Chain A
Amino acid sequence: MTDATAKSRPGVVRFIGVDFDFGALKAASPRYWTWVGVLGAFMAVGAVAWLVYMTHGGAVMAMRDGTPWGLWFTNYMYYVGLAAGGLVVYASVHLFGAEQFRPLSRLAVLLAGVLVMLALLGIVTDMERPWRAVWMLLTPNPTSPFVYTGSAANIYMIICFVDLWVLITGKGGHKLALTMTLIALPAAIYLHTTTAFVLSMNKSRELWHSAMMVPIFLTSATASGVSLLLIVAYIVQSLTKMKFKPSMFRSLSTLLATVMIIDLFMLVVEILSIFWPTSAEPGHTIRMMEFFTGTYTWFFVPVLVLGGTAFALLSRRKTRHLPAVQITAASLYVFAVFLKRYSLEGMGFVRDPLGQYIGLYVPSAVEIFLALGILAFGMLLVTLALKVLPIEVPEDDGHGEPVIDYDAEFNAAARAELEPEVAS
């Protein structure tokens, strides 16, 4: 990582072994600063929305006793899920030697860390008295899934940023990168599992109370996360100097199609078990019908339609290598998974535990602006990091595996086997 040219340039500050290239910000185009300004405006509106909430209390939100959680929790599930994609790609580089993904590894870890930060910001801004969160540390209740998902998100965010530092500085070489993967991968699975537990560990909410919730969370997290990474990679490629090989996108979309179909399959199995005559329970079917013919139809049916379309696009051999097709499919799925999270939350709340009809939850303006402000903050972090941090992975990033020429080894072994025969 001793980049001689970077050191000689002005505006480069070296801190904890990382070259922060603040000079690049000065040289940035007006287009870049317009984009930062737009994000800043959204953040300002979000800050105002938060202020309104803090002064007026929960009444400005659309949440009520029937829907005690709102957009902030949809976003928590969604952002935590999106963070998974980065980790899968990053882990497959260092764990399984998927070298084609190496150029993406830093970007992937950066995205994962920022997304989990956004998920946590959603929780903090939902609390009327954020300082009371200290009780989570002082008197945590071991039987509450909230304790596990909250701590997991915090730990995972820290792991991601430490990981980014390790990848950028190249400290510890291949061995440390592998160790970090072995820490990060179980942490990610732990995070998604405990997030699913927040829903599935409730015998009070019929449609959530299913162990299937955990694998569905894992697959839709991976599918949406990889989709997002693919989209971001295309955007970064068109806007910055970073360039990726078409073969990398091909591998990414193959991985995507595989996870998508597993994800859709599990959803269909879950729906089947709700409606099958020998397993259908009135409490389940009455609630689920709200998602096919009731108030949540426009949020749930698109999940199946968009998801199926995305898979079909990526499975057509003739066109699946085209960037336009890949971007369309990935965008459809990222959107479909948001609707899926939204419906999933609605499944617990469309009727309350006493069977009373609650109906559709639509977030209020304050909730929407707050969520957009948080999203803008995340996008700003990534925008700045792409300029300031060395996100582009150089040819030799210090984490490469020792090169083993398998062909040569095989040939030598084959020769050694054959030689005695030749001699005799």
Chain B
Amino acid sequence: MSHENGRVSASEETAEFKATISRRQFLQRVGIVAGLVVVGAIPAVLTSPETLPSADGAESGAPTLASKINPLQHIIDQDQPVNYPGKPVWYADPAGNQKWAMVIDVKACVGCRKCVYACVKENNIGRNSGFTYIKVLEMEPGSVDLETSNANYTEGGSPDKWYLPVQCMHCAKPTCVYGCPVKATWKEPDGIVLIDYNKCIACRNCIVTCPYAARHFNWVDPEVPKAEINPKVPLQQKSGVVEKCTFCVQRTRNGMTTACTEACPVGARKFGDLNDPNSDVSVLIRTRRAFRLKEDLGSGPMIWYVG
């Protein structure tokens, strides 16, 4: 503004005083209006995380080279870092350019909860905390109706029901990350949503805004028997903050698979890299009729179900 003013008044010195004033005023007003428009546009730009996937992806009709090589490319393109602080906080940096995903075969799942127990043990979940990262929902035959599902069914499962394991979906558009007021949670380049336990202010807005009830608050200090503590996962830092499934980041970035995948006795869980066209998850999503839970919400969960 001031720069423009200076230029105008210098070049128009010979012009009539009145005209100079009016032009200066005009420029000032234009500047003010432009400034207001820019300031007004900032929240609009910042708060519109949704982008249409059809811009250059396979859905526009003309498949690009990348999508010819990997038909899952449009899903991978959506799965970008959000609020990523750019440095490792708890765990090592991503090992390569993986995009982690999971496929769960609900036809195979028998509801034995072996994955739940393995997860509790692996991730130092307080034995007194009253929550688990994974919830297995017992579904009535004939529908995928969450309202009639039962997460507290009796041990072992029943043959005339079917089972839907639910955990953090590591969404491509994670509402929890958008909702965190202090950027204490973010999405890493390999698609894993992580939490900084030393930064979480315990407002619990992420619990409220998660459509999959995947986040849990440590209302009590988590207690784990000394012999069972996993030294690769924080424990004390988790008291009084929110935690959730991390796709076993401490394992998966070191060439291992997740604890739940390893523990599943019927092989219903597959974990892998979408960027690798030959990985289990890529092949399953490409070749089977895979669906995602609450896909209509548009948060782009990274866990698929096949039946």
A, B from the same assembly: yes
| Interface residues of A, Cβ cutoff 8 Å to B | 57-59, 61, 63-65, 68-69, 127-129, 132-133, 135-136, 138-147, 150, 198, 201-205, 282-283, 286, 348, 351-356
A346 to chain B, nearest CB (A): 13
Among A69, A198, A351, A354, point to the contact of B137 (Cβ < 8 A): A354
Task: Assess the A139–B183 pair: CB atoms within 8 A.
Answer: yes
B-chain residues with CB within 8 Å of residue A61 when the two chains form the complex? 219
A-chain residues with CB within 8 Å of residue B208 when the two chains form the complex? 68-69, 202, 204-205, 348
Task: Assess the B179–A58 pair: CB atoms within 8 A.
Answer: no
B-chain residues with CB within 8 Å of residue A145 when the two chains form the complex? 179
A-chain residues with CB within 8 Å of residue B199 when the two chains form the complex? 132, 135
Q: 7 A–B contact pairs at CB < 8 A?
A: A57-B239, A68-B208, A135-B183, A143-B47, A146-B179, A204-B210, A354-B166
B-chain residues with CB within 8 Å of residue A205 when the two chains form the complex? 208
Residue of A nearest to B178 (CB): A143
Residue of B nearest to A137 (CB): B182
Among B147, B183, B219, point to the contact of A59 (Cβ < 8 A): B219
A151 to chain B, nearest CB (A): 10
A-chain residues with CB within 8 Å of residue B182 when the two chains form the complex? 132, 135-136, 138-141
Task: Assess the A136–B201 pair: CB atoms within 8 A.
Answer: yes
Task: Assess the B147–A65 pair: CB atoms within 8 A.
Answer: no
A-chain residues with CB within 8 Å of residue B239 when the two chains form the complex? 57
With most chain A CB atoms within 10 A of its CB, the pick from B181, B202, B217 is B181
Among A140, A142, A356, point to the contact of B151 (Cβ < 8 A): A356
Among A58, A63, A203, point to the contact of B220 (Cβ < 8 A): A58
Decide yes or no whether B26 CB sits under 8 A from chain A.
no
Residue of B nearest to A132 (CB): B201
Task: Assess the A351–B219 pair: CB atoms within 8 A.
Answer: no
Task: Assess the B213–A129 pair: CB atoms within 8 A.
Answer: no
B-chain residues with CB within 8 Å of residue A138 when the two chains form the complex? 182
B-chain residues with CB within 8 Å of residue A144 when the two chains form the complex? 178-181, 205
B-chain residues with CB within 8 Å of residue A146 when the two chains form the complex? 179, 181, 203, 205
Residue of A nearest to B147 (CB): A355
A-chain residues with CB within 8 Å of residue B49 when the two chains form the complex? 143
The 9 closest A-B pairs by CB, nearest first: A355-B146, A135-B182, A146-B181, A68-B204, A204-B211, A58-B219, A355-B147, A143-B178, A142-B46
B 232-269 binary contact with A (CB < 8 Å = 1; else 0): 00000001100000000000000000000000000000
Task: Assess the B181–A140 pair: CB atoms within 8 A.
Answer: yes
Task: Assess the A355–B148 pair: CB atoms within 8 A.
Answer: yes
B 209-226 binary contact with A (CB < 8 Å = 1; else 0): 111110111111100000
B-chain residues with CB within 8 Å of residue A57 when the two chains form the complex? 219-221, 239-240
B176 to chain A, nearest CB (A): 9
With most chain B CB atoms within 10 A of its CB, the pick from A57, A63, A138 is A57
Residue of B nearest to A151 (CB): B181
B 122-163 binary contact with A (CB < 8 Å = 1; else 0): 000000001100010100000001111101000000000000
A-chain residues with CB within 8 Å of residue B183 when the two chains form the complex? 135, 139-141
Residue of A nearest to B239 (CB): A57
Task: Assess the A353–B240 pair: CB atoms within 8 A.
Answer: no
B-chain residues with CB within 8 Å of residue A354 when the two chains form the complex? 135, 137, 146, 149, 151, 166, 212-213
Measured CA separation A282–B135 after assembly (Å):
22
Measured CA separation A319–B81 after assembly (Å):
64
Residue of A nearest to B48 (CB): A143
B-chain residues with CB within 8 Å of residue A65 when the two chains form the complex? 130-131, 207, 213, 215-217
Task: Assess the A58–B217 pair: CB atoms within 8 A.
Answer: yes
Task: Assess the B151–A128 pair: CB atoms within 8 A.
Answer: no
Task: Assess the A286–B221 pair: CB atoms within 8 A.
Answer: no
Measured CA separation A204–B149 after assembly (Å):
17
B137 to chain A, nearest CB (A): 7
B140 to chain A, nearest CB (A): 12
Task: Assess the A150–B181 pair: CB atoms within 8 A.
Answer: yes
A-chain residues with CB within 8 Å of residue B205 when the two chains form the complex? 144, 146, 198
A58 to chain B, nearest CB (A): 4
Decide yes or no whether B106 CB sits under 8 A from chain A.
no
Task: Assess the A64–B219 pair: CB atoms within 8 A.
Answer: yes
B248 to chain A, nearest CB (A): 21
Known contacts: A141-B181, A353-B210. The answer to whether A129 contacts B147 by CB under 8 A is no
B-chain residues with CB within 8 Å of residue A133 when the two chains form the complex? 201
Known contacts: A135-B201, A355-B147. The answer to whether A203 contacts B297 by CB under 8 A is yes
Measured CA separation A143–B173 after assembly (Å):
12
Measured CA separation A282–B201 after assembly (Å):
35
Task: Assess the A143–B179 pair: CB atoms within 8 A.
Answer: yes
A8 to chain B, nearest CB (A): 51
Measured CA separation A133–B201 after assembly (Å):
6
Decide yes or no whether B75 CB sits under 8 A from chain A.
no
B81 to chain A, nearest CB (A): 14
B124 to chain A, nearest CB (A): 17
Among A129, A142, A203, A283, point to the contact of B47 (Cβ < 8 A): A142
A-chain residues with CB within 8 Å of residue B96 when the two chains form the complex? none
Decide yes or no whether B83 CB sits under 8 A from chain A.
yes
Decide yes or no whether B175 CB sits under 8 A from chain A.
yes
Residue of A nearest to B85 (CB): A139
Among A132, A204, A356, point to the contact of B209 (Cβ < 8 A): A204
Task: Assess the A68–B201 pair: CB atoms within 8 A.
Answer: no
Measured CA separation A138–B145 after assembly (Å):
42
Measured CA separation A354–B149 after assembly (Å):
8
Task: Assess the B204–A69 pair: CB atoms within 8 A.
Answer: yes
A211 to chain B, nearest CB (A): 15
B 109-126 binary contact with A (CB < 8 Å = 1; else 0): 000000000000000000
A281 to chain B, nearest CB (A): 11
Decide yes or no whether B27 CB sits under 8 A from chain A.
no
Task: Assess the A203–B211 pair: CB atoms within 8 A.
Answer: yes
B-chain residues with CB within 8 Å of residue A63 when the two chains form the complex? 219
A73 to chain B, nearest CB (A): 9
B-chain residues with CB within 8 Å of residue A283 when the two chains form the complex? 147
Task: Assess the B217–A68 pair: CB atoms within 8 A.
Answer: yes
A184 to chain B, nearest CB (A): 20
B-chain residues with CB within 8 Å of residue A348 when the two chains form the complex? 208
